[in-house]
Amino acid sequence: MKVLIDTNITLDFLLEREPFHQDAGKLFEAIDLGQIIGYVTATTLTDIFYIARKHTRSLELARQAVSSILATMIICPVNRTVLESAFASGLTDFEDAIQIYSAIAQDLDAIITRDTTGFLSSSIPVLSIRQLLEKVN
């Protein structure tokens, strides 16, 4: 199953944010085992770098976080078509709209998030980590 991983879930895993870290760890374990193919948007990488650096106050740890994602995930390009589609969608959360239209452009099976409210109008199924893992197992 090919899925787009929301930025917050990726940060939950990388920064060991409680109470979400355990579920995020299970998701990344399934990705490592090849049960799931994980995707993130290119914009997620810039967010990860910025937030990890701010959270850890370490340039090196921020670089390690980005390196880890580059080694593990497939990166969805955020090009003009994705941006225009996201903007034209009228969704109030532009970041979520970019993720939805990136997932559509890559023909992904689902978006994995813990904040489903921003993805209500998604034409791609939106699942929690637990829902995804139940489908895979």
For residue 49, what is the domain's CATH number? 3.40.50.1010
Query: Consecutive sets of 10 residues in the chain, 137 residues long: mean pLDDT of each?
Result: 95 91 95 96 94 93 94 96 95 91 97 85 92 91
**Residue with tokens 């290119």, as numbered in its chain:** 42
**Residue with tokens 């990705």, as numbered in its chain:** 31
Does the pTM surpass 0.85? The reply is yes
Domain that residue 76 falls in: 2-136
pLDDT at 120: 80
Q: Give how many domains the chain has, as a whole number.
A: 1
- Which residues are paired to 38 by β-bridges? 3
CA max distance for the chain = 38
Write a three-state SS string for the chain. Answer: CEEEECHHHHHHHHCCCCCCHHHHHHHHHHHHCCCCEEEEEHHHHHHHHHHHHHHHCCHHHHHHHHHHHHHHCEEECCCHHHHHHHHHCCCCCHHHHHHHHHHHHCCCCEEECCCHHHHCCCCCCEECHHHHHHHHC
